[in-house]
Every structure is written in C-alpha cells, then in structure tokens.
Amino acid sequence: MSKKTEQLLRDDAAHLWHPYASAIETPVMFPVSRAEGVRIELADGRQLIDGMASWW
C-alpha cells in the first residue's frame, strides 16, 4: 500500500464517520482506485458493484 493511501486511511479514521459503521471500532477500509457508474475497482484489482448507491 502506498504512503499516500496509508495517510488517506489515517485521515479517514481520524475525521470521518461512515453511515452504518460502528462509531467505536474502525471499519475495514477498501481503497478504491477508480469507479464508473455502479462499478468500483479496488486498489488490489478486485471489481465490485455498488449495491447501496440507490439508497443515497
């Protein structure tokens, strides 16, 4: 993981609250390299479909 990604994850944990996540335990983060429409590509190359996008 790059130093920039590590810093972004530290900043995220220090300053953001993620809906539907525990406020006590730090949720598992999945660094995203790109997204288009409902498709998300993680930094490790895995591809996901954002199934919760319709809620927002």
Q: How far apart are the first and last CA of the chain?
A: 30
Note down the domain range covering 30.
Answer: 3-55
**How distant, in Å, are the alpha carbons of 18, 31, 36, 49 from that of 10?**
14, 12, 25, 25
Tokens 């895995």 locate to: 46
Beta strand residue intervals within the chain, DSSP E: 32-36, 39-42, 47-49
Structure tokens at 14: 């220090």
Q: How many domains does the chain have?
A: 1
- pTM for the model stands at 0.61
Read off the pLDDT band of 7 (50, 70, 90).
Answer: very high
- Model confidence pLDDT, tens digit, residues 9-53: 899 888 987 777 777 887 787 888 999 988 999 989 999 998 876
Structure tokens at 36: 């288009």
